[in-house]
Chains A and B, each alone.
Chain A
Amino acid sequence: MVLDTNKDLAEPKGIWSWITTVDHKRIGLMYGVTALVAFFVAGLEALLIRLQLTTANGTVLSADAYNQLFTMHGLTMLLVVVMPVGAAFMNYFIPLHIGARDVAFPRANAFSYWLFLFSTIMLLSSFVLGGAPDGGWFGYAPLSTQLDEFVRMDYYAIGAQLLGIASIMASANFIATVFTMRAPGMTLMRVPVFTWMAVVVSFLLIFSLPIFGVGLFQMFFDRNFGTQFFGGGGDPLLWQHLFWLFGHPEVYVLILPAMGIVSEVFPTFSRKPLFGYPFVVFSGIAIGFMGFGVWAHHMYTAGLGPVAEAGFGIATMMIAVPTGVKIFNWIGTMWGGKVRFELPMMFAIGFVSLFVIGGLSGVLHSVVPSDYQQHDSYFVVAHFHYVLFGGGVFGYVAGAYYWYPKWTGRFLDEKLGRWHFWLMLLGFNLTFAPMHILGLNGMARRTYRYPEGLGWEFWNQVATVGSFLIGISFLFFAWNLIRSRKNGRVAGNDPWDGRTLEWSIPSPPPVHNFDEIPVVEHVDDFWHRKYATDEDGRAVRMPDVTGGTLAAETTTGDDGEANRGSPEDMHMPSPSYYPIVAAFGVMVTGYGLIYIPVGWVAAGVGLLITLWGFFGWSLEPVTRDAHHD
């Protein structure tokens, strides 16, 4: 498979080119498409749940089906939709934001995607292979270790473990990329906020996923080897601590990239820089740090003791502070600006408005005695959907409308987009606002039915109507995404008059991203190449920029390397089939482990395939060309 360099630079075509791709942009797109499909799957699960709960003593779903559906809805949305959507954006834009041609380890990048895809397939296959996990996404022991007659929770233990491995590898990749591959002049405090948040997220995952991994191994061993981590002489609370030490940083992993997107969208559509850039960055870092200190606020009723409960309560209250700082800075960005209500901006404003509601209900949770009532009730369900959907999903959708022109060279349709926005806004609020009321009125979570006479029917009906509106709004979105690729209005390189480096290159970008690696002198460097400021501080367009691409500002480095951009100098990483082979091997191993003792053979076979993949990968050169033996 030796390809010559010039062929490497042309955009490859065909299925095999996608299977062997190591291009961060293609990998990002694959993450995005997979996540979107999974969103519809998890959304369907939600609609079924809503149908069951529309009436008291509902009979749409059996208890068994309901328990699998709510478990998988949570698991899928968190690990297979929102995290990968974040990964999609991070994959595509980290290199573009820092002026690089790819990530640090392109094949590892591909491996992370394929492992994610195969693990997802494995998890979803459980529905037809004896039953999906039914212990809740949080898998509390000893319920999750109780029934070894069913393999359901083994799918959970192995599936989540494999997804975690994919994420850890991707996180190491992103950290190495941002810390060592920035363009000349791109100091850390000139890196766009989105990429900064990606770095914080990557550190959160590096440190939190292994803890979850240990818990998952312990669950697997309790289920299959008779160990006593959570049962017998063990303490069920150990699981909760290990889980939430991961689970809490996880929610910041889910929201910070969306906050990063909003931090890019607000300045672009206000035509002003982000207000308080260093404060926005540092509050993101603060949220990351503090996120490790509040995990037990998920356990106020579990028996921590009043001192621990008080400590975690106060720590949780304090996390509201850096979050508030971000919100105020976003408002400050618009203040004095010229706000354009393009679709990305509408969704971003929706993010801020709805996230505030979710954040405030979070503060209400942090008031510990109040939480003794709210915990495990629909009040919590309302809270996290406001932050994760009203916040996260609105933010990621804003990113989709913002960056679709960059991915495809065309705009998403304006009218379909507005239908999407208003239906989603209305549907979302109709679904989740009533849940605050239901929770305070005593409706417990994770219950497949509720009786008459407790006053819960009306708001459940409202919520169901809302949920279907959400579903319809996403049909508009999906249709828009598909249709606009061919029919959308042509966008060009810089359709929004953007501020960051990705707008300085063609849409869609060439394989090698930048013809010349830029030398960076400011935060929002691209904007500064287009605009100067007059004596009042207002932006003034400079006349000498053509086509939205950077003027050729080649500098000669110390070693005389002036020739950036000629094909001989661009060593793009070559495609490779080892990542998908290795990932496939891991999936086979996973299936084998789920079905032990019969599965030991399959696990062994899977291990061999994985080793073949890893060895081949280690011995293959990154770029096949004349430089190497």
Chain B
Amino acid sequence: MNHAHNENEPAPSRRRPLMIGLVGLLALMAAGCSGAGPQTALNPEGPIGRTIDDLWELVFILATIVFVIVQVALFYTIVRYRARKDDDGEPVQVHGNTRLEITWTIIPVVILAAIAYPTVKGIFDVRAIPQGEDVLQVQVTGHQWWWEFEYVDLEDETGRTLVTANELYIPEDTEVNLTMTSADVIHSFWVPVLAGKRDVVPNRVSNLTLIADDPTPPDAPHPGQCAEYCGLAHADMRFKVHVRSQVDFDAWVEDQLAPAQLPTEGAAAAGYAAFGTCVACHNATVSGPDGIEDIGPVRTIEVDGVTFTSSLAPDLTHFGGRATFGSGTFENNREHLAQWLANPADLKPMRPELNDIEAGRILGMPNFNLSDDDINNLIALLEGWD
């Protein structure tokens, strides 16, 4: 886009840099609209995402206009006023022009003031916390390196709330209010097709509103990920947002609130025997001959008057029904699960050797040196808990 001038070359025409610049710009913009995958911010699937995207489009167009004007001015000037071989004269030694200075100070101020208004309005719109009975309340606890979700208003008969991990189900066309905190370091919750991101901070409560237009296909939920560097496996701290019709969502809730069945025979039963290792950190709600039992450690943290579930590891009650594991990073299938149980660090970088359960610091799942049999049995157990 820049044309240097060698004395011996013929002078480039004025049009050429302009044409190249414009073509390049158009190519770039066209290219920009390509490569837009399921995690793009440019094709929003909900009203909040659209508010943001509409504002973006307005400002982007203005910025592009300014860009074109300035680049054209720059290149026009260097082409028109380039030193020519035959020209021995000296230019007039102009020092400035106060009127011009004032003009090109005021015009940008005016343009910026124009975009300031929709900007401020957008802030208040997006930041508003939805109120009312129809809002679905979900509490989010960020951990290194997974997401914990608690549907605080959805309980079973005994008062147990719906707790799950990494896969967030929401009904279509509904205001969902996420109330969030972190159990350890700062994270950030970001599902670009639905909304902007919001930091998840220890010792603080933050809110984010999600509204999704339409249900997602079962194999194509909206992808999201942690967007504040949180250590070793930050890149692998992902999650999925599944959108369901209200009917389907209610059915999902009912399934989730039901306990897992204690297996009585076969590989699954053997898996349950081995499961004792897991409940040092993991939770499950299991229904057996003695009734319904919550196994695994229960922890909560209190921040600004809000009580958050803060488990050591994801709840496994309905693990089999999740499409992914490892915080949305791996497809939930036999092969991956076998690799994971054999040595979690093979799949996801973690620091379990630094775990300090009393202090509440969990930096990953250790390698328990499980036998192949144990692994197969555990897989059978977890597959049955869907």
Residues in chain A within 8 A of chain B (CB atoms)? 62-64, 67, 135-136, 140, 142-143, 146-147, 149, 231, 233-237, 270-273, 275-279, 301-303, 305-306, 309-310, 313-314, 317-318, 320-321, 324-325, 327-329, 331-332, 334-341, 346, 349-350, 352-353, 356-357, 360-361, 363-364, 366-377, 418, 421, 425, 433, 436-438, 440-451, 453-456, 458-459, 531, 533, 536-540
Question: Chain A residues with Cβ under 8 A from B202's Cβ?
Answer: 142, 231, 236
Question: Chain B residues with Cβ under 8 A from A327's Cβ?
Answer: 70
Q: How far is the CA of A418 from the CA of B67 in the complex (A)?
A: 26
Q: Are A444 and B227 in contact (CB under 8 A)?
A: yes
Q: Are A537 and B94 in contact (CB under 8 A)?
A: yes
- How near does chain B come to A537, taking the closest CB pair, in angstroms? 4
Q: Are A341 and B63 in contact (CB under 8 A)?
A: no
A-facing mask of B65-90, CB < 8 A → 1, else 0?
01100110110011001110001011
Question: Chain A residues with Cβ under 8 A from B199's Cβ?
Answer: 301-303
Question: Chain B residues with Cβ under 8 A from A539's Cβ?
Answer: 90-91, 93
Interface positions, chain B 1-51, Cβ under 8 Å from A, are 1-2, 4-5, 28, 31-32, 35-42, 51
Question: Chain B residues with Cβ under 8 A from A433's Cβ?
Answer: 28
Number of interface residues of B (CB under 8 A): 94
B115 at the A/B interface (Cβ < 8 Å)?
yes
Question: Chain B residues with Cβ under 8 A from A310's Cβ?
Answer: 119-120, 123-124
A306 contact from B5, B124, B230, Cβ within 8 A = B124
Q: Are A437 and B39 in contact (CB under 8 A)?
A: no
Residue of A nearest to B191 (CB): A442
Known: A146-B184, A237-B201. 4 other contacts (CB 8 A): A146-B231, A337-B91, A444-B226, A448-B234
Q: Are A370 and B56 in contact (CB under 8 A)?
A: yes
B198 at the A/B interface (Cβ < 8 Å)?
yes
- How near does chain A come to B11, taking the closest CB pair, in angstroms? 12
B55 at the A/B interface (Cβ < 8 Å)?
yes
Q: Are A418 and B116 in contact (CB under 8 A)?
A: no
Can you give 18 A-B contacts (C-beta < 8 A)? Answer: A64-B232, A237-B204, A303-B206, A313-B123, A314-B119, A318-B112, A320-B112, A324-B108, A340-B83, A356-B74, A364-B59, A440-B42, A444-B225, A444-B227, A454-B38, A454-B39, A538-B93, A539-B91
Question: Chain B residues with Cβ under 8 A from A447's Cβ?
Answer: 225, 234-235
- How near does chain A come to B50, taking the closest CB pair, in angstroms? 11
Q: Are B197 and A372 in contact (CB under 8 A)?
A: yes
Q: Are B94 and A454 in contact (CB under 8 A)?
A: no
Interface positions, chain B 214-233, Cβ under 8 Å from A, are 223, 225-233
Q: Are A273 and B93 in contact (CB under 8 A)?
A: yes
Q: Are B186 and A335 in contact (CB under 8 A)?
A: no
Q: How far is the CA of A270 from the CA of B97 in the complex (A)?
A: 17
Using known A-B contacts A338-B87, A369-B52, A446-B229, determine if residue A64 contacts B349 with beta carbons closer than 8 Å: yes
Q: How far is the CA of A272 from the CA of B94 in the complex (A)?
A: 7
Q: Are B38 and A453 in contact (CB under 8 A)?
A: yes
Question: Chain B residues with Cβ under 8 A from A135's Cβ?
Answer: 229
- How near does chain B come to A458, taking the closest CB pair, in angstroms? 6
Q: Are B235 and A449 in contact (CB under 8 A)?
A: yes
Q: How far is the CA of A112 from the CA of B206 in the complex (A)?
A: 43
Using known A-B contacts A440-B41, A441-B39, A450-B235, determine if residue A356 contacts B91 with beta carbons closer than 8 Å: no
Residue of A nearest to B89 (CB): A538
- How near does chain A come to B271, taking the closest CB pair, in angstroms? 29
B300 at the A/B interface (Cβ < 8 Å)?
no
Q: Nearest 7 A-B pairs (CB), nearest first? A: A372-B196, A455-B37, A442-B39, A447-B235, A369-B122, A63-B349, A276-B96
Q: Which residue of B31, B37, B101, B238 has the most chain A CB atoms within 10 A of its CB atom? A: B101
Residue of A nearest to B354 (CB): A149
Question: Chain A residues with Cβ under 8 A from B91's Cβ?
Answer: 270-272, 336-338, 538-539
Residue of B nearest to A442 (CB): B39
Interface positions, chain B 79-135, Cβ under 8 Å from A, are 81-83, 87, 89-97, 100-101, 104-105, 108-109, 112, 115-116, 119-120, 122-127
Q: Are B109 and A313 in contact (CB under 8 A)?
A: no
Q: Are A140 and B228 in contact (CB under 8 A)?
A: yes
Residue of A nearest to B124 (CB): A306
B203 at the A/B interface (Cβ < 8 Å)?
yes
Question: Chain A residues with Cβ under 8 A from B82's Cβ?
Answer: 338-341
Q: Are B2 and A451 in contact (CB under 8 A)?
A: no
Q: Are A338 and B206 in contact (CB under 8 A)?
A: no
Q: Are A236 and B90 in contact (CB under 8 A)?
A: no
Q: Are A276 and B92 in contact (CB under 8 A)?
A: no
Question: Chain A residues with Cβ under 8 A from B323's Cβ?
Answer: none
Q: Are A321 and B232 in contact (CB under 8 A)?
A: no
Residue of B nearest to A310 (CB): B120
- How near does chain B come to A589, taking the closest CB pair, in angstroms? 29
A375 contact from B2, B51, B101, B197, Cβ within 8 A = B197
Q: Are A349 and B2 in contact (CB under 8 A)?
A: yes
Q: Are B188 and A63 in contact (CB under 8 A)?
A: no
Q: Are B122 and A339 in contact (CB under 8 A)?
A: no
Question: Chain A residues with Cβ under 8 A from B234's Cβ?
Answer: 67, 446-448
Q: How far is the CA of A459 from the CA of B36 in the complex (A)?
A: 11
Q: Are A325 and B104 in contact (CB under 8 A)?
A: yes
Question: Chain B residues with Cβ under 8 A from A533's Cβ?
Answer: 93
Q: How far is the CA of A63 from the CA of B197 in the complex (A)?
A: 24
Question: Chain A residues with Cβ under 8 A from B361's Cβ?
Answer: 146
B281 at the A/B interface (Cβ < 8 Å)?
no
Using known A-B contacts A62-B349, A301-B196, A456-B37, determine if residue A437 contacts B31 with beta carbons closer than 8 Å: yes
Using known A-B contacts A273-B94, A321-B108, A360-B67, determine if residue A349 contacts B78 with beta carbons closer than 8 Å: yes
- How near does chain B come to A348, taking the closest CB pair, in angstroms? 11
Q: How far is the CA of A372 from the CA of B189 in the complex (A)?
A: 11
Question: Chain A residues with Cβ under 8 A from B236's Cβ?
Answer: 449
- How near does chain A come to B189, taking the closest CB pair, in angstroms? 9
Q: How far is the CA of A368 from the CA of B119 in the complex (A)?
A: 6
Q: How far is the CA of A363 from the CA of B125 in the complex (A)?
A: 20
Question: Chain A residues with Cβ under 8 A from B196's Cβ?
Answer: 301, 369, 371-373, 375
B252 at the A/B interface (Cβ < 8 Å)?
no
Question: Chain A residues with Cβ under 8 A from B162's Cβ?
Answer: none
B368 at the A/B interface (Cβ < 8 Å)?
no
Residue of B nearest to A239 (CB): B186
Residue of B nearest to A142 (CB): B185
Q: How far is the CA of A272 from the CA of B89 in the complex (A)?
A: 12
Q: Are A418 and B201 in contact (CB under 8 A)?
A: no
Q: How far is the CA of A366 from the CA of B120 in the complex (A)?
A: 11
Q: Are B123 and A369 in contact (CB under 8 A)?
A: yes
Question: Chain B residues with Cβ under 8 A from A276's Cβ?
Answer: 95-97, 100-101
Q: How far is the CA of A231 from the CA of B202 in the complex (A)?
A: 8
Question: Chain B residues with Cβ under 8 A from A149's Cβ?
Answer: 354
Q: Which residue of A143, A149, A325, A421 has the most chain B CB atoms within 10 A of its CB atom? A: A143
- How near does chain A come to B351, taking the closest CB pair, in angstroms? 8
Q: Are B232 and A325 in contact (CB under 8 A)?
A: no
Question: Chain B residues with Cβ under 8 A from A376's Cβ?
Answer: 188, 190, 197, 227-229
Question: Chain A residues with Cβ under 8 A from B63's Cβ?
Answer: 360-361, 363-364
Q: Are B197 and A143 in contact (CB under 8 A)?
A: no
B329 at the A/B interface (Cβ < 8 Å)?
yes
- How near does chain B come to A240, taking the closest CB pair, in angstroms? 9
Using known A-B contacts A324-B104, A338-B81, A447-B234, determine if residue A317 contacts B1 with beta carbons closer than 8 Å: no
